[in-house]
Chains A and B, each alone.
Chain A
Amino acid sequence: MTHTKTFGILFAAIATLILLTVISLLWGQYPIDFATFMGYIDFKLFGGVGNDTYTLLDNIILQIRLPRILLAILIGASLAVSGAAFQAMFVNPLVSPGILGVLAGASFGAALGMLVSEQWYIVQALSFIFGFMAVAIAVLIGSMVTNSRSTIMLVLGGVISGSLFTALLSVIKYVADPYSTLPAIVYWLMGSLTMADLSGVLYVSIPMILSILGMIVLSKYFDLLSLGDEEAKALGVNVPLIRFSVIILATLASSLSVVMAGMIGWVGLIIPHIIRMAVGPSHRLLIPLSAIIGAIFLLLADSISRLAFSVEIPIGILTSLIGIPIFIIVLKNARAAWN
């Protein structure tokens, strides 16, 4: 694909994301019309005479909608990029943060953190550590039975690793205080963006954005790594360094998404497949485009969960309900895209 075409696709995707972001800011139980919104932006940027409406908008936009929208964008981008990265690193189109057990491991780590400490950074650190342990266990189990790289054994390793941490998570739920900690853990795990507050989102956005950017920068190596270790080395790639760095970055990004909004499944698996079907498998476009399309997907899913029903459905449940039928279609059509 030529540079012009690549940039064209990326530009169109970014424009769509910006448009959706603005619509999401305006749309809700209290609809804001565009003129009022522009007036508010003008007021925010250049000052002027404020009024009661702007105070209300401050509340609705800055306190409620903006943090939630930013979080949806960050998490959608993190999960989709991590999924595409894991698929390339393990040369396996069937893996994702969910399948490899990262989400389960990170959930266990975060729940453990909530149990033992009130410090936010401890929750994040434990989430990352156990997310990484989950990948390591999946890989270990996957390579124990067969020496060669086996697509299905790694998936099986991930299923086992995920089950292990889900079981450990149940232990935490069992010992957690049933009146305060337990409901908090259960609702957080279902996947929800409602808890987002602006300072928390901005704080977690730094490591998330850095991980995503790191993976985009390294994406030129992904094509080569998907040829297998020996061929990538012979072509001049420092395989252990790249593979280890990318697995760390992908684990970090997806673990942080768990800390912020619980288990949001399927995004990391289906978005890379959809993009591969649309623009081909070359990772130099696939990775940045996964970030943008993942963000769009989760923003849309969150808007549906917010607006479509009288009761808000946890977004993790919604992404599963949307993701599963899409994945079945993808599986049926994807063979052409990954042999």
Chain B
Amino acid sequence: MELNSIINIKDLHFAYSKNRILDGIDFNINHGEVISLLGPNGCGKSTLIRLILKLINFSHGEILINNKTIHNYSHKEIAQHIAYIPQYHNVPFNYTVLEMVMMGRISKLGFFATPSNKDREIAYESLKHIGIDNLSSRPFGQLSGGQKQMVLLARALTQEVNTFIMDEPVSGLDYGNQIRLLELISELSRQGYTFLKTTHYPDHALLVSSRVVVMNHGKIIANGKPHDVITTPMIQDVYGIGADLIEHGAHTRCLPIFNKGIQ
């Protein structure tokens, strides 16, 4: 066990009735890392995230958060260590952006306490940190997908924790916002935040991660530095398509091979 690890997962198994989803997962999240979790649909990466957040219970294995078993954590205590940033979504009631961000403070409040002006300030500061304080009084429902995702990131900041878990953060965002969000994640990582994010894009994993974990059929099949893990054979193996790795500027990029273009 490494001293600076935040989350340790040991021999984790999970199944829905008889359907095996996770089959012996071992993996650590260490302080300061940006981990990209890759894998095809149904490989178990969303399940893994939900298990770490205790949204579902596992049958066999162990998850430690700060060296303490997850069974001893309430949801409130988990929220005091890990912030979850879901894919942006619609809410049935049209809260303002500031109200939405203030909801991140709930884990800091006593059972009967109400949010104070200080909580309001923290929420406002988080919006500023992300650079969207101009949106604070806008209705959340009227924002673009990219703006919504930024607001959910600001909400995570108000939890005042160092570890963020993001579920496919760029999904549904337009081309520009995808890149802007990835840059924001890099920026927050430089400021000391730890990230675990799932993604469908090996290219994005190459751009923004310190480590890449690849899952397939409920198992981890690769775990290491981005350049070591994201290779042409790996992509062929996991996704069943060819891909080229190209040096471009300061980065290696991953381009899928496309054979049947319109002439």
Contacts and interface: CB of A to CB of B under 8 A. Distances in A.
Interface string A1-24: 011000000000000000000000
A217 B86 CA distance: 28
B141 A339 contact: yes
Given A217-B112, A220-B109, A233-B55, A3 B117 contact: yes
Contact of B95 (A221, A234, A280): A280
A232 B130 CA distance: 22
Contacts of B95: 223, 280-282
A123 interface: no
A277 B112 CA distance: 27
A235 B104 contact: yes
A337 B93 CA distance: 6
Contacts of B115: 220, 284
B93 A237 contact: no
Interface in A235-254: 235-239
Contacts of A221: 106
A281 B94 CA distance: 6
A230 interface: yes
A85 to B, nearest CB: 13
Contact of B75 (A92, A234, A339): A234
B92 A236 contact: no
A83 B94 CA distance: 18
Contacts, number: 91
B99 A235 contact: no
A337 B99 contact: no
Interface residues of A, number: 31
A239 B106 CA distance: 12
B79 A236 contact: yes
A308 interface: no
Contact of A227 (B78, B96, B103): B103
A339 B90 contact: yes
A239 B93 CA distance: 18
B96 A338 contact: no
B3 interface: no
Interface string A281-293: 1101000000000
Contacts of A93: 92-93
A238 B106 contact: no
Contacts of B30: none
B84 interface: yes
Interface of B: 50, 53-55, 74-80, 84, 86, 90-96, 99, 103-104, 106-107, 109, 112, 114-115, 117, 120, 139, 141, 159
13 contacts: A220-B114, A224-B106, A230-B50, A233-B75, A234-B53, A234-B75, A234-B84, A234-B86, A235-B106, A236-B74, A236-B80, A239-B75, A336-B94
Interface of A: 2-3, 88, 91-93, 217, 220-221, 223-224, 226-227, 230-231, 233-239, 276, 280-282, 284, 336-339
Given A235-B84, A276-B93, 8 more contacts: A220-B115, A223-B103, A230-B86, A234-B55, A235-B103, A236-B74, A237-B76, A281-B93
